[in-house]
A = this chain, B = another copy of it.
Amino acid sequence: MTVMQCNCGREAFYWRRHSGEVLCKKCFMKSVERTVLRTIKREGLFGPKDRIMVALSGGKDSLALLSILSKIERKYDTEIFAVTIDEGVRGYREEGLNIAKRVAGELGIEHRIVSFKEAYGNSLEEIYNLASSKGIKLLGCTFCGVLRRRLINEAAIKFGATKVATGHNLDDEAQTVFINLMRGDVARMIRLGTKPLKVREGFVPRVKPLRYIPEKEIAIYVYLKGYPLYERECPYVRASLRDEVRDILNRIEQRHPGTKFSMVRSVDKLSKLLKGEVGEIKYCKRCGSPSGREVCRMCELLSILGLSSER
């Protein structure tokens, strides 16, 4: 019986189907870290003297991101700190907060918590109840996502960050490519691709150093690091188009390894060809999300709920 071996001679642990590589634990970890470093360099995500705020939910993606960035930090003259958003969902958020605190502590990284309650005067639970009492149906994660993104931006400004790093992985990106294609939303699809970071007043640029790491490899990385996997699901999660697309892409990837990569690379190529220009994209002047309107529908809804303040 032959034992599959990594190039380094150690016993193999992981078969990377899309590339054919067979890796031991150590080489697997290194390879993930190398891909992140390459993404940062190639896409010019961080410059010298950047102060990076890591959006740390406590989920596997953000843990992997924090861990890898804290390692890479020494190579760049950058500062890192982490912020966790506390939406205020009892029985769900506490675990993530504890994990985030613990891992940031272990890595010796400054960690801050910013809450919906503090920023909006209401926790997510209270906001849902408020909406419900006004006969307004809120749309699962979309709504919370807007509030969270806005708070992340405000925290970045308050704490002097020059970049916000999020844990979006290859699967997230491929799903977004496909969703935008399904919707015929070419502008958003192209925005996703590699492009020079645009500085918009009042908004700290967001970067995604893990966008070329498959979700599965992030899960393995975090497992090998010994970090806890935070598997609890938010009670407000609803089945979404993204879930459907996730299933579809996973099934395709299973039969055609490398498909997710190709999808994301396609958009990168298009974005490069178009030099990031896809006609004029308008952004909501309150939350900064791309929107055809001055103030996006979500922010309008927030106004109605009395949760919105002009920035």
A residues adjacent to B (C-beta < 8 A): 177, 180-186, 189-190, 241, 244, 248, 252, 255-256, 259, 261-263, 265-266, 269-270, 273-274, 277-279
| A270-B270 CB under 8 A given contacts A252-B182, A256-B241 | yes
Q: Could you say which residues of chain B place their CB within 8 Å of the CB of A273?
A: 186, 274, 277-279
Q: Choose among A248, A256, A269, A278 the residue with the greatest number of B CB atoms under 10 Å from its CB.
A: A269
Q: Could you say which residues of chain B place their CB within 8 Å of the CB of A262?
A: 181-184
The CA-CA distance from A274 to B262 in the complex, in Å, is 20
The CA-CA distance from A263 to B261 in the complex, in Å, is 19
Nearest-neighbor residue (CB-CB) of A251 within chain B: B248
Q: Is there contact, CB below 8 Å, between A266 and B184?
A: yes
Which listed residue, B184, B248, B255, B270, touches A261 by the CB 8 Å rule? Answer: B184
Closest 5 CB pairs of A and B: A184-B262, A186-B269, A184-B265, A182-B259, A184-B266
Q: Is there contact, CB below 8 Å, between A177 and B184?
A: no
Q: Could you say which residues of chain B place their CB within 8 Å of the CB of A189?
A: 266
Q: How many copies does the complex hold?
A: 2
Which listed residue, B186, B252, B265, touches A248 by the CB 8 Å rule? Answer: B252
Q: Could you say which residues of chain B place their CB within 8 Å of the CB of A274?
A: 270, 273-274
Which listed residue, B181, B186, B255, B269, touches A184 by the CB 8 Å rule? Answer: B269
- The smallest beta-carbon distance between A264 and chain B, in angstroms, is 9
Q: Is there contact, CB below 8 Å, between B270 and A186?
A: yes
The CA-CA distance from A244 to B248 in the complex, in Å, is 11
Q: Could you say which residues of chain B place their CB within 8 Å of the CB of A259?
A: 182
- The smallest beta-carbon distance between A265 and chain B, in angstroms, is 5
Q: Could you say which residues of chain B place their CB within 8 Å of the CB of A248?
A: 248, 252
The CA-CA distance from A259 to B248 in the complex, in Å, is 14
- The smallest beta-carbon distance between A240 and chain B, in angstroms, is 12
The CA-CA distance from A278 to B266 in the complex, in Å, is 12
Nearest-neighbor residue (CB-CB) of A189 within chain B: B266
Q: Is there contact, CB below 8 Å, between A266 and B177?
A: no
Nearest-neighbor residue (CB-CB) of A262 within chain B: B184
Nearest-neighbor residue (CB-CB) of A256 within chain B: B182
Q: Could you say which residues of chain B place their CB within 8 Å of the CB of A181?
A: 177, 181, 262-263, 266
Q: Could you say which residues of chain B place their CB within 8 Å of the CB of A266?
A: 180-181, 184-186, 189
- The smallest beta-carbon distance between A86 and chain B, in angstroms, is 34
- The smallest beta-carbon distance between A292 and chain B, in angstroms, is 15
Q: Could you say which residues of chain B place their CB within 8 Å of the CB of A183?
A: 262
